[in-house]
Structure 1
Amino acid sequence: MRKHIYFSFTGLCLFSTLFSWAQERENDTLNTNVINVVKPYTPTISDAFKVKETPVLDDGVTTAKKAVDYTIFSIPVASTFTPAKGKAAVLDKQKAPKLFDNYANLAFGSYTSVLADLYLNHAISRTENIGGYLQHQSAQGGINNLLLDDAFYNTKLQANYEQINRNLKWDLNLGGLHQVYNWHGMQQPYFNETDAKGVDAGHTFYGANLGGSVQLEDAYLSKGEAHFQYFGDDYGSAENHFKAKLISDVTIKDYDINTQLTIDYLGGSFDRNYFNSEAINYGNFNIGLAPSYQLVQEDLSVNLGVSVVYLNDTEASESNVYIYPNIAASYRLVDELLLVYGGIEGGLTQNTYYSVSQENPFVSPTLLILPTNKQYDAYVGLKGKISSNMGYDVKASYRSEKNKQLFKNNLIPYDFTRTEAYQYGNSYGLVYDKITTLSVGGKLQVDLNQDFTLALTANYFIYNTDAEAEAWNLPNMKASLMLDYQITNKWFAGANLFFEGERQAVSGFAFANNPANPIFTNNPLPITLDGFLDANAHVGYRVNNRLDVYAKVNNLANQSYHRWLNYPVQTFQALVGASYKFDF
């Protein structure tokens, strides 16, 4: 204990001595001065520096990753759950319908009408087929308030043979027709029952045709076809028409050029003209060449072409050369929803006695037949889909036609004896004029499903004539509605409506010597034919996959409208029939 006290006392004395010495030294050497700061320190960027050394940490200790082993300790657990076996869904398969090669249809209706169709096709071998068809429609008449018989008869027959080989396909066809009509539109009140006595207004058309075609694979000449038709009537009229076409596809410097060569000859005669016994002869021969090139790039499609036609009027000994544009383009703006298209086209139409009589069977056998020169037809349109089951097509066009064919009522010869059955204001002749036509229209197609379809079309026309006062018998509007509905597997139904707007016609007398009679005049009386709506419907029952029975009604509104002046149509009509499909 004493030893510890001693050491403590000695250390304390030594610390006191050193502290006293230090205080005295400080007071002796340090001077107190005042420092004046003249300018504060302003650092610059150049005063800064960067340490360019990268620190390295190396403590000499290396740590290795320790491997870890995982193990599962499973314990079985009892369970009573048993999963059910999966079963794939199966779509209901519909049995494919049996297709037949032959078809027959027969129906009877009011006005003692008969409708018959027969279509035949038979495979002789793997490469040969033979077939044909027969179409017949007739009625025994019965329209009210007529002075003459209104019965008609229309039969057409066609037979064909076809052979298909590896690189060649060809066919032949032979046909004929027999048609009987009556000029029953004797104009009233100019004529009465007394005038109608002894007038036989019946007239007959007959004809025959022969044709064929050839198609070649991997050849410059890809297709050729030819057709000859003879047509005449029981008034001594006769017409011969021959038409041939050759189609070639040639590649020139990576450009595919399609070329069509057309040869068309028409010759015919009528025993007399309308007012006297002077005969009428007509004949035309033309050759046309129409090359075209189609360009397709993504959504754009363009067809560039031109048509050159040489025409020789064999009766007048006159020749002309016509050049027509043949340009069409389309561009897909929005996939299938919107496609815009347009073009300008032209051509020479060979009118014939046959084509005229099929459009209007009440023409007189005293016609002047001329070709129609369609100088151009410019059009633009939009088409596409509104939805997956609804499509549309809207179009506007403007065309110019020289020698446009118009049906005009034959005037009644007044001051000389009427010797023919078609001289009672009950027949039609042809006049020609330069006509421009502006048309606007569209089509709406609805396919709700496989069982229901609907189609609506409508077109409006504005005509401008050059020499004639009106565009005779051309309607200012046309519209139609088609509907088909498969009600069940057995029942089906449908309807169609046709609307035709106003048309212009003439009526009156024609004078040879201008007799002094104030009641009649040389100027024909213009007449406006009202528009009409014709509604038709049908319903049918499928007995089996071969036999169907059906009923039809026509002109539901029971209108006695005039499609042609002085020619009222049959009013309400009913028809029942059956169709049968079969194989040989």
Structure 2
Amino acid sequence: MRKQKNKILVILLMLITTLGFSQEREQDTLNPDVIQVVKPYTPTVSDAFKVKEVPSLDDETTATKKEIKYNIFSFPVASTFTPAKGKAAVVDKEEPAKLYDNYATLAAGMYTSILGEVYLNHAISRTESVGGYISHHSSQGGINDLLLDDNFSNTKVSANYARNERDVAWNIEGGFLHQKYNWYGIPQPLYDDAAAEAIGDVDHTFYGFNLGGNVAFTDSYINEASVLYRRFGDNNSSGENRFLVNTDGDFTMQDLDFNIGLRIDYLGGKFDRNYFTEEALKYGNFNIGLSPTYQLIKEDLTLDLGVSLFYLNDIESGKSKFFIYPNISASYRMVDEILIAYGGIQGDLVQNTYYGFAQENPFVSPTLFITPTDQKYNVFVGLKGKIANGMSYDIKGRYMAEGDKAMYRNNLVPYGFDADEAYQNGNAFGIVYDDVSTFGVSGEIKADINRNFTLGVKAEYFSYNVDEEAEAWNLPNLKANLFLDYQITKQWFAGANLFYVGERKGLTGFNDVQNITFPALLNPTETITLKSYFDANAHVGYHLNDRWSAFAKVNNIANQEYNRWQNYPVQGLQFLAGATYKFDF
């Protein structure tokens, strides 16, 4: 303020002086000789000065801003506001499909074929249920250029009772089978119509029944156990009995957890005669196996370390033998579920049976010598994982060494003795055993593209090395198959199954049992190559409602009467149509 006052005083003094000077000039006498021109004042920008909005303070003390503190005096206030709950958008839900516990299927088609199935299941209470299954497939035959009947029939019946309690679940099951086939594969042109008529009836009928059950414990040293008894025979006075027990349990030893499996297997049977003489052929063995395994899990590595111990007693010969097999496997997650490496080495004592041979090849003769297969070791390595969501793959390589591996070989036509039986005309298969090494590579892809489409492809390549036999009889070098299922709409569905089997080796010719020379036959036996074959099957169906469905099947679309077994062509193009009914009791 003092500075402002000084400025005002200076301005007032200058005004007073100017006024005084002007008055003095007015008293001067006008001098006409002198002309004085006074230039008017023209202001410029440089003459102005900017007044600062915030003048600087040059006084002795500069005012400082005081710190202002804000205090909030809060107190609780009761609120009656209730926020509205959010509501999810309304989605139109599809009504779930009605599920039934039972169904029945019946179909008929070419070659006078009949196909039927019935599945039954009924819950007696919350813990008890009973069920059953019946299947039948038959055909009157009609394959072109055959000299003998080729009809067949296959019927199976089973029933079960199950009980599920708090600490234990168990069930018992019984079944019966009746199968009829014909040895129609006589070699041509060695046999003509007259020779075929002389053979007569060539049917081979199998009978069998089984009884067994299993039990599973929730909290026990024994996890589960199963028992099976099966009687199997045929219309040629052949008979076989098998009794099998399997148990699986866990135990701890020195803070280490082990899993141990126990197997008890008895097999005994006889054939009314052997292939060349009328002497009865008996077989039987008893074996018991113990398989302890320790499992180690560390992050992405899972390792199973175990061994399998077997004791075998050949009842007929009275000889016993002890077997030790490795039981080691491991898997490592290299990239989560995308890439998993696995491998191992395992072995087993495989029990061969007449029932097993007849189910795989129904054209075997009732003159088989049956003994177990010693699977010394099976070394395998592979990669598996998921390519994408719903799509998985598995690539595997293996090398297996087997002692007494069973192979099907065509029985040769007798030479030098009479053929009294229908199967002694080169139209049945026997079993030969040999030490066989197998190298195999396989690849598999499964894809669940969506809920309505499923696709699977698998291919396998094999290479065999035999010890005494000339070939690995009837073992294919290549196998491949493709399957797909497609739910087209809610009502329509379809599917297909395609498979390919590569070449196999077979034997044909005459068998000189009496050591008679062959004056006109330089080569009494000959190794032949069975051609590879491709088979395509497809089906389509329509759901009439939630209970009824109609369907149609086409088998062997390529219409190839190929030989699955030597001298045994299959039916060509086959069409079948039928319906399925679902129901509840």
- The TM-score normalised by the length of structure 2 is 0.85
Distance 1:513 1:307 in 2: 45
Deviations 1:275-302 (A, max 9, x none): 1111110001000000111111221111
The alignment status of 1:457 with 2:458, answered yes or no, reads: yes
Q: Which residue of 2 aligns with 1:555?
A: 556
Q: Which residue of 2 aligns with 1:79?
A: none
Q: Which residue of 1 aligns with 2:372?
A: 371
Q: Which residue of 2 aligns with 1:200?
A: 201
CA contact (8 A) 1:509 1:522 kept: no
Matched ranges for 1:210-289 at <5 A? 210-289=211-290
CA contact (8 A) 1:398 1:437 kept: yes
Q: Which residue of 1 aligns with 2:512?
A: 511
Q: Against the structure 1 CA distance between its residues 191 and 218, is the aligned structure 2 distance closer, same or farther, given a 3 Å change threshold?
A: same
CA contact (8 A) 2:547 2:581 kept: yes
Distance 1:358 1:349 in 2: 16
CA contact (8 A) 1:268 1:281 kept: yes
Distance 1:218 1:60 in 2: 89
Once the two structures are TM-superposed, the CA of residue 358 in structure 1 deviates from its matched residue by: 0.3
Deviations 1:405-425 (A, max 9, x none): 000000000221110000111
Q: Against the structure 1 CA distance between its residues 489 and 520, is the aligned structure 2 distance closer, same or farther, given a 3 Å change threshold?
A: same
CA contact (8 A) 2:106 2:115 kept: yes
SS of the residue aligned with 2:355?
A: helix
Matched ranges for 1:176-191 at <5 A? 176-191=176-191
Distance 1:391 1:554 in 2: 28
Deviations 1:456-475 (A, max 9, x none): 00000000000001000000
The alignment status of 1:407 with 2:403, answered yes or no, reads: no
Distance 1:246 1:488 in 2: 46
Distance 1:305 1:423 in 2: 47
Deviations 1:524-582 (A, max 9, x none): 21010010000011110001111110001000000010000100000000000111111
Of the structure 1 ranges 275-284 and 520-529, higher mean CA displacement relative to structure 2 is found in: 520-529
Distance 2:418 2:86 in 1: 95
Matched ranges for 1:59-78 at <5 A? 64-66=66-68
SS of the residue aligned with 1:354?
A: helix
CA contact (8 A) 1:394 1:442 kept: yes
Q: Which residue of 2 aligns with 1:41?
A: none
Distance 2:283 2:166 in 1: 44
SS of the residue aligned with 1:508?
A: strand
Q: Which residue of 2 aligns with 1:545?
A: 546
Distance 1:286 1:333 in 2: 40
Distance 1:115 1:316 in 2: 45
Once the two structures are TM-superposed, the CA of residue 127 in structure 1 deviates from its matched residue by: 0.9
SS of the residue aligned with 1:148?
A: coil
CA contact (8 A) 1:184 1:201 kept: yes
Distance 2:286 2:388 in 1: 49
CA contact (8 A) 1:562 1:569 kept: yes
Q: Which residue of 1 aligns with 2:499?
A: 498
Distance 1:499 1:492 in 2: 25
Q: Against the structure 1 CA distance between its residues 66 and 203, is the aligned structure 2 distance closer, same or farther, given a 3 Å change threshold?
A: closer
Matched pairs, number: 512
Unpaired segments ≥5 residues, structure 2: 1-60, 72-84
CA contact (8 A) 1:107 1:116 kept: yes
Of the structure 1 ranges 431-440 and 85-94, higher mean CA displacement relative to structure 2 is found in: 85-94
Once the two structures are TM-superposed, the CA of residue 62 in structure 1 deviates from its matched residue by: 7.3
SS of the residue aligned with 2:346?
A: strand
SS of the residue aligned with 1:358?
A: helix
State the one-letter code of the partner of 1:148.
L
Matched ranges for 1:418-437 at <5 A? 418-437=419-438
Deviations 1:287-342 (A, max 9, x none): 00001111112211111111000000000111111011111110111111111100
CA contact (8 A) 2:413 2:425 kept: yes
Once the two structures are TM-superposed, the CA of residue 385 in structure 1 deviates from its matched residue by: 1.5
SS of the residue aligned with 2:237?
A: coil
Of the structure 1 ranges 252-261 and 533-542, higher mean CA displacement relative to structure 2 is found in: 252-261
Q: Against the structure 1 CA distance between its residues 430 and 521, is the aligned structure 2 distance closer, same or farther, given a 3 Å change threshold?
A: farther
State the one-letter code of the partner of 1:139.
S
Q: Which residue of 1 aligns with 2:118?
A: 118
- The TM-score normalised by the length of structure 1 is 0.85
CA contact (8 A) 1:510 1:522 kept: no
Matched ranges for 1:520-539 at <5 A? 520-521=521-522, 523-539=524-540
Q: Which residue of 1 aligns with 2:131?
A: 131
SS of the residue aligned with 1:197?
A: helix
Unpaired segments ≥5 residues, structure 1: 1-58, 70-84
Distance 2:153 2:340 in 1: 45
Distance 2:411 2:92 in 1: 65
CA contact (8 A) 2:518 2:524 kept: no
Q: Against the structure 1 CA distance between its residues 283 and 68, is the aligned structure 2 distance closer, same or farther, given a 3 Å change threshold?
A: closer
CA contact (8 A) 1:178 1:205 kept: yes
SS of the residue aligned with 1:356?
A: helix
Matched ranges for 1:466-481 at <5 A? 466-481=467-482
- Alignment RMSD: 1.8
Q: Against the structure 1 CA distance between its residues 462 and 341, is the aligned structure 2 distance closer, same or farther, given a 3 Å change threshold?
A: same
Distance 1:274 1:88 in 2: 78
Q: Which residue of 2 aligns with 1:20?
A: none
Distance 2:253 2:102 in 1: 45
Distance 1:415 1:248 in 2: 58
CA contact (8 A) 1:340 1:382 kept: yes
The alignment status of 1:145 with 2:150, answered yes or no, reads: no
CA contact (8 A) 1:229 1:240 kept: yes
Displacement over 6 Å in runs of 4+: 59-62
State the one-letter code of the partner of 2:285.
N
SS of the residue aligned with 2:194?
A: helix
Percent identity of paired positions between Structure 1 and Structure 2: 56
Distance 2:154 2:87 in 1: 62
